[in-house]
Structures are given as structure tokens and as C-alpha cells.
Structure 1
Amino acid sequence: MNSHPHSNRDIRDEIRDYWSDRAATFDNDPGHKIEDGAEMAAWEALFRKHLGPARGRRLLDLASGTGEISRLCKGLGFEVTGLDWAEPMLERARMKLPDVTFLQADAERTMLPSGSMDVIVTRHLVWTLVDPASAFAEWHRVLAPGGTLLLVDGDFVTRGLLARFLLRGRTVDRGRMDRHQRILQRVHFSQGARASSVSDLLAEAGFTDLRTDKRLGRIHRAQRSNLGWRKSLLRLSEHRYLIRATKPEGIEP
């Protein structure tokens, strides 16, 4: 884990407050909300590919935000529980999905019973983790033997020539950007969450059958009309991926 001059509690508070402040407008940002139609169909196809039929399995949506991934997974037939650290995010998720249970907790310290979930999913959480090794061990504990972890994430730090060109001159919220950078400098993946590094830590936590899928083109194409040409090209240039992993059978919760 990267060292930093601040306590873990300080940075976790800052992360929680950052996402709390973004909750009111989070669904307005393309790429966060999943639009019904082509984009939802693309996400559903990706999740079915890696999770198979839902069959009512117990699924934990970690860092559930405003509930978009929970909405997706409930529609697929999973028994969904959402968990997030930011209460304003949870308020919006509960309004959106009143029949889904949403809990407030740190994704690195869920406080859930061992072996209580059959599936854990996350989207764009790993890059913000303060201590991913401990987080992955916690997720391994919460999963039942034979359970599946599915995470969607990316390296949003490393920028090639095309990305730097596309970002040049864009209008940004300077205050929000500065807060984002202060957080990024203090999390584990401050240099970018590469799929290989994430997979290595998952294996160390006891996960097996790790598979990386970078074929997210159908989702990106479906998002194109809302993202606009500049952000669409930027998204295609980024190192984005899905990792699926398994908690082996025969391991006590």
C-alpha cells in the first residue's frame, strides 16, 4: 500500500464527502447513469456473459452510488443489496429502488456476515481504494464458497498523446478537480489501476479463475450519443476492463 502523511480515516472521510457532494448531479453525468435501451442492453449482455443466469442469487453491489448497477442486476433477477459510504448517494438509490436494501458502510469494511453473498459487483470503485489488499480479503470473506466477484474499472490516470490532446482546453470545475487530485494522490492506485496489478492483488487475496475482459466496445458505442465525440474518443483511449474472479469451493466462509 502506498504511504502517505495522513491517517486512513482522514482520506476515507474525504472520499466519502467528495462522493456525497456529487450525489445530487451524479446521474446527469454520461457514463454514470445507464440509459434505458441500447446502453442497458449492452450492460446486461456483459453481466450475463460473466455471471450467467441470476437464479435469485444474493448479489452485493459495492459502492452502489445512486443505484444504477443495482437497477441493472435487479432487472437480471438477482436478489440485490447495495452498499455505499455516502448517505446522499444512498438516498437517491432508495428513491429509485424502494424494494432494494441499501446499507451505509465502507466498501473496505462492509461489516456483513461471512459467506453471505453469492456475487459481488463493483463499478469504478477499485481505483479509489485506500487499501485494496485488505478490501479484496474482505470481499473474499463475504462471498460464499464458489461465489463470483465481478469488477469493472480502469486506469484513469495514465494518459497517452491522444488523451492529452482531447483533454486540452476543456472546461472543468476547478474546485472539484482539485479535490479529485488530492484524493488520487493518496490512494493505493495513485499511478493508475492497471488490470494486471488488480489481478495480482486478487490472487493474493485467494481468488482464482481470474479472467480479464477489455471488450467493452458495445457499451461505449451505446454511450456515444450522450458522451459526445471528444469524451467518446477519450473513453476508447483509456485502459478500461472487467475482471471476473471466483472464491474456490471448499473454503469455509
Structure 2
Amino acid sequence: MAAWEALFSKHLGAARGRALLDLASGTGEISRLCKRMGFDVTGLDWAEPMLERARAKLPDVRFLQADAENTMLPAGCMDVIVTRHLVWTLVDPAAAFAEWHRVLAPGGMLFLVDGDFVTKSWLARLLGPRHSSNHGAASTHHRILRQVYFSQGARPDQITDLLAQTGFEKIGIDRGLGRIHRAQAAQLGWRKSLLRRFEHRYAIHAVKSAAQ
């Protein structure tokens, strides 16, 4: 949690009670982090089971059920939007980014943590796949993957190009997630921990113009 907080603080600065939307909030881990940092947090997710767990964990945070590509929130109601491991799953990222741009107030900040989880690193190719008997799950994964926009992998330059086309400014890429990977190593086996350090993970920050 401390490693994640350091990354978020680096890009978002002091919270100062700003309204923050945690997209694809899941069970509320990022919402909890941002609440602790001092943001006024709203979580949004499509899955009711995830929302139930998040609400039980964080009764003082508002959680909404909606689609990340169509939040149904008022225009300009959020100062910050954050999301972790959502962008690579989007069917229409251009539409999603336009929606997030609409929801942000002028001068608002967008912060994405994501990765190319399709393209294998040289280490992953060297070690080879782990054998699994769950062929059904693998088949379902590949079927879903074929339907998303980044089916060949979400490269950061692709995302930044789409953000710029949407109207976002001051876009930057941060690949320095090493502290998080080292912290996660204690919870992962040696193989997964090693592979994690060589995955194509990154964070992207962007700003909606104050004049928009």
C-alpha cells in the first residue's frame, strides 16, 4: 500500500479533499488508498459482487454500479479520475476517454495504471508457459481477448495517442513501477514475482485543459 501511495502521490499531488472517481473499483483497494490519502472518493464498477465487498469494506465511500464507458455522471463533477488495469480491457477506448474527459472538471487529472499483458517479455518466452489443466478458462480468456480493442496488447504510446486525440494535455508515461513490484514479491512465488518485474507495466497521467 505504501508503494502504491508513493506512486499516486507522485502524480496526483496533495489530495486536498478533491473529488476522485475510482473507475472499475473492484473490491475497493484503490478507493481505500485514495480515501486514506484525503480524496473525496466515489467508486464505480459494473459487477455487483465486487461492489458488495467494497461497500462492506468502506461504508464511508460512495460506490455506484455503472459502465466505465458510460458512467452516467454529470459533466465536470470530478477533479481526478484513476483506474488500474482497466484500459487494456476496453472495447471502445476512444469512447471511454471521451466520457472521462466529459466527467472531469476543467484542469482535472486522469491517472491510469495499466500494462501490455498480451505481449510476452523475453523472460516469459524463455521460461515458457506454465502447464494448466483448465483449458476451458484459457479458451474463455482468449475468446474475450479477441473482442477488446487492445487484443494485441495495450502499448502506452497507443493510449497516449488516443488521449491526445480526445483533448487531454500534459500527457506523460511513467514506467518506474519497480517499488511496487518489489513490494508484491513477498506475496508472489519466485516465478510470478520475477515475471512481474519484466512485464510491460506503466502509469499514464494526463490533464483536461483548464479552458475546456
Distance in 2 of aligned mates of 1:173 and 1:103: 33
Amino acid of the structure 2 residue aligned with 1:180: H
Residue 104 of structure 2 contacts residue 208 of structure 2 at CA under 8 Å; is this kept in 1?
A: yes
The 3-state SS of whatever aligns with 1:152 is strand
Amino acid of the structure 1 residue aligned with 2:80: V
2:142 to 174, 181, 189: 181
Residue 105 of structure 1 contacts residue 111 of structure 1 at CA under 8 Å; is this kept in 2?
A: yes
1:100 to 51, 54, 61: 61
Unaligned segments of structure 2, at least 5 residues: none
Aligned to 1:82: 43
TM-score (structure 1 length as normaliser): 0.82
Amino acid of the structure 1 residue aligned with 2:110: L
Amino acid of the structure 2 residue aligned with 1:69: I
Residue 119 of structure 1 contacts residue 149 of structure 1 at CA under 8 Å; is this kept in 2?
A: yes
| Within-5 A mapping of 1:13-162 | 40-162=1-123
Amino acid of the structure 1 residue aligned with 2:177: L
Unaligned segments of structure 1, at least 5 residues: 1-39
Aligned-residue offset at 1:171: 3.7
Moved over 4 A (4+): none
- Worse-matched range after superposition: 101-110 or 232-241: 232-241
TM-score (structure 2 length as normaliser): 0.97
CA RMSD of aligned residues (A): 1.1
Distance in 1 of aligned mates of 2:34 and 2:21: 10
Aligned to 1:11: none
- Shift of the 167–60 alpha-carbon distance from structure 1 to 2, 3 Å rule, reads farther
1:209 to 170, 182, 192: 170
Aligned-residue offset at 1:205: 0.5
Instruction: State the number of aligned residues.
Output: 212
- Per-residue CA deviation, residues 78-103 of structure 1 (Å, 9 max, x unaligned), is 00000001111111111111111100
Distance in 2 of aligned mates of 1:172 and 1:58: 45
The 3-state SS of whatever aligns with 1:65 is coil
Residue 166 of structure 1 contacts residue 234 of structure 1 at CA under 8 Å; is this kept in 2?
A: no
Aligned-residue offset at 1:168: 2.3
Amino acid of the structure 1 residue aligned with 2:9: R
Aligned-residue offset at 1:104: 0.5
- Per-residue CA deviation, residues 161-191 of structure 1 (Å, 9 max, x unaligned), is 3113334234464333222211111100000
- Shift of the 172–62 alpha-carbon distance from structure 1 to 2, 3 Å rule, reads farther
Residue 61 of structure 1 contacts residue 80 of structure 1 at CA under 8 Å; is this kept in 2?
A: yes
